[in-house]
Amino acid sequence: MSGAVPYDPDDFDNNPFAESSIIIQPPAQQQTDTTFDDNDKDKETVGPISPRFPQSPFVSQGAIPSMTGNDHAQSSLPPMPDHIQPSDLNKQQPPTPEQPEHHEQQQPNLPPKETTTKQNEEEELNSTFHHYPTDLDLKKYLPERLNRGSFSLAVKVIEVEKNGNSGYKNPIIKFNATVKNIPGFRRSTYKEVRRSYKEIESLYKYLIFNNIEVFVPAVPDIPLLYNSGSLEFLTAFTKSVQNWFNRVCLNPILIRNQEFVLFFEQNDFCYTPSKTKPSSNSVMATGIKRKTLKQFQPPFDASQELAEYRPLIKSIFVQSQKLLEKLDKLMKFQKQSSSASLDVYHKLGELGSLESEKDMIRMWTKFQKVMKVYDELNLVKEVSFSAGLAENFKLISDDCYNIKESLTNRHLLMRELLNAEENTKKKLATINKLKVKPMIDPLKVDEAVRSLELASNYDKELKYQVKRTTYEMLIEAQDYLNYMTASIKQLFKR
């Protein structure tokens, strides 16, 4: 036993009768203890460590291996005082130098205010449509309607005049206009502005081409029922044109169009619209291209109201067309019936020649004249009512056609948005492929980034346009149904 370590009961490191256990040390202390000098590496391991505390359960379960080799450096630690409990070990563990760095890495980097605003805008653009636009939607997408009371435009038709040799085929409309807080106008009042009917039609076409989010009211036709230049003709045409101006001036988007500046300030009969057809890069297709695109199935519509509104408007348009055809046939039958009645009354008047008394002859003659006047008055009444129905439903048919085509333009806009989103995804995939390549060409990277930026900007612009168009159409859809109901009620109350 001369080579054995002498027994010292107070020396826990050399006590051979102590239980095999370990002292759980902080990670920083373990890391410090594992650094030894070259002399410590050659020392032999004396034996297991016997602390004053009970055996750790991690050792018995094999979660922590027994200490050998370099663990001898821990045997040189002084014994722990008696007042320290095992549960206080974790509380007294000082934080390691790596821990603050670890926490700093886990803390999320707060985005700046501009990035947060940009993310909110993207979330708003990607969100679904509301059933009806809120004040926030009006503020973001339709600021014209939010500030509707601060500006206005009013047009008052004064007179309808004859236009030279063409007569009333292209009549002249004389009107006054009042402008309030609309930029672009040089004056607030315009008096006795003279425009022909064809110039008004040119303005109407321009408004359709340049306001795809608006249901532009249809221009009324020149009445054909009355004689040209008659009082009934002038009254009916003046009323219809005034009604059209009133409907246009009620729309805050249309009256802020700068085309009205040219329409009011040009000299008489000198107005020419600045654009007569849609631009080549416009979503609004025309001609054969439009007919071809309409054959495809429309894209999914997230707005349930507009998805149901288009079939309703189309059915009203179709039924109005059928009703107009039947009204035309009815007016023809009424005129034929009136001519047949006149023949009957004329033949009844000839019965007076068979009478021997002059009073009876005079009676048959007066009967013929009275029945002729009655038949003419009855014909005028019936034809006037039928013509009023035809005129009203012709205007409804034209309005429904414009609304239907505007909703079709919205579908084309949504399809263009889907194509733009696919294009953006392709550009992003191209950039991801360039990242994987071992050799990166900076010119290709710049070109890919530039194309991705252009595609994403176009995508955002289309999303904004789709939302603006949807919310404006939701408002005008309800307004038009109210207008149509009121006009039909007023027609049957006459």
Domain check: are 282 and 196 in the same one?
Answer: yes
Contacts of 344 (CB under 8 A, 6+ apart): none
Examine the pLDDT at 370 and tell me if it is beyond 70: yes
Examine the pLDDT at 33 and tell me if it is beyond 60: no
Structural domain total, the chain: 2
Query: What does the pLDDT read at residue 356?
Result: 79
pLDDT top residue among 467 and 147? 467
Rounded mean pLDDT of the chain?
79
Q: What is the mean pLDDT of residues 292-310?
A: 89
- Amino acid, single-letter form, for residue 438: P
Q: What is the mean pLDDT of residues 433-440?
A: 87
Q: What is the mean pLDDT of residues 268-278?
A: 82
Domain check: are 71 and 185 in the same one?
Answer: no
Query: What does the pLDDT read at residue 428?
Result: 93
β-partners of residue 195 are 173
Q: Which of 39, 59, 80 is the last residue of a domain?
A: 80
Residue 10 token pair: 């107070």
pLDDT top residue among 85 and 258? 258
pLDDT top residue among 249 and 353? 249
CA distance linking residue 449 with residue 429, whole number of Å = 11
Closest CA to 286 of 387, 212, 348: 212
Q: What is the mean pLDDT of residues 236-253?
A: 95
Instruction: Provide the pLDDT confidence category of residue 202 given band limits of 50, 70 and 90.
Output: very high
Domain check: are 72 and 215 in the same one?
Answer: no
Domain check: are 66 and 185 in the same one?
Answer: no
Examine the pLDDT at 4 and tell me if it is beyond 80: no
Examine the pLDDT at 21 and tell me if it is beyond 50: no
Mean pLDDT is lowest, of 105-109, 147-151, 444-448, for: 105-109
Query: What does the pLDDT read at residue 126?
Result: 62
Q: What is the mean pLDDT of residues 428-437?
A: 90
User: What size, in residues, is the chain?
Assistant: 494
Report yes or no on 363 lying in a domain.
no
Instruction: Provide the pLDDT confidence category of residue 165 given band limits of 50, 70 and 90.
Output: confident
Examine the pLDDT at 34 and tell me if it is beyond 70: no
Report yes or no on 123 lying in a domain.
no
Instruction: Provide the pLDDT confidence category of residue 449 given band limits of 50, 70 and 90.
Output: very high
CATH for 266: 3.30.1520.10
| 3 state SS of 185 | coil
Domain check: are 149 and 32 in the same one?
Answer: no
Domain check: are 150 and 69 in the same one?
Answer: no
Residue 177 token pair: 């206009």
Report yes or no on 134 lying in a domain.
no
Domain check: are 71 and 219 in the same one?
Answer: no
Domain with 3 in it: 1-80
CA distance linking residue 93 with residue 284, whole number of Å = 72
> Phi/psi at 170 (nearest 5 deg)?
-135, 70
Query: What does the pLDDT read at residue 289?
Result: 82
Query: What does the pLDDT read at residue 37?
Result: 44
Query: What does the pLDDT read at residue 38?
Result: 43
pLDDT in tens, 203-234: 999 999 889 999 999 999 998 878 888 888 89
Domain check: are 327 and 427 in the same one?
Answer: yes
pLDDT in tens, 289-299: 888 888 888 89
Q: What percent of the chain has pLDDT over 90?
A: 44
Domain check: are 147 and 68 in the same one?
Answer: no
Q: What percent of the chain has pLDDT over 70?
A: 73
pTM above 0.75, yes or no: no
pLDDT top residue among 304 and 59? 304
Closest CA to 179 of 249, 267, 92, 251: 249
CB 372 within 8 A of CB 342: yes
CB 386 within 8 A of CB 338: no
Report yes or no on 90 lying in a domain.
no
Domain check: are 279 and 151 in the same one?
Answer: yes
Q: H helices then E strands: how many in the chain?
A: 15, 3
- Amino acid, single-letter form, for residue 289: K
Domain check: are 200 and 323 in the same one?
Answer: yes
Instruction: Provide the pLDDT confidence category of residue 367 given band limits of 50, 70 and 90.
Output: confident
Instruction: Provide the pLDDT confidence category of residue 51 given band limits of 50, 70 and 90.
Output: very low
Domain check: are 67 and 148 in the same one?
Answer: no
DSSP state of 302: S
DSSP state of 3: T
Report yes or no on 247 lying in a domain.
yes
Query: What does the pLDDT read at residue 103?
Result: 39
Query: What does the pLDDT read at residue 230?
Result: 86
Report yes or no on 356 lying in a domain.
no
Q: Which of 85-89, 215-219, 278-282, 302-306 has the highest mean pLDDT?
A: 215-219
Residue 123 token pair: 């979330």
Report yes or no on 346 lying in a domain.
no
Query: What does the pLDDT read at residue 74?
Result: 40
The 8 Å CB, 24+ separation contacts for 3-12 are 5/46, 12/49, 12/50, 12/51, 12/52, 12/79
Report yes or no on 32 lying in a domain.
yes
Q: Which of 80, 95, 124 is the last residue of a domain?
A: 80
Q: What is the mean pLDDT of residues 380-405?
A: 91
Q: Which of 45, 80, 115 is the last residue of a domain?
A: 80
Query: What does the pLDDT read at residue 193?
Result: 93
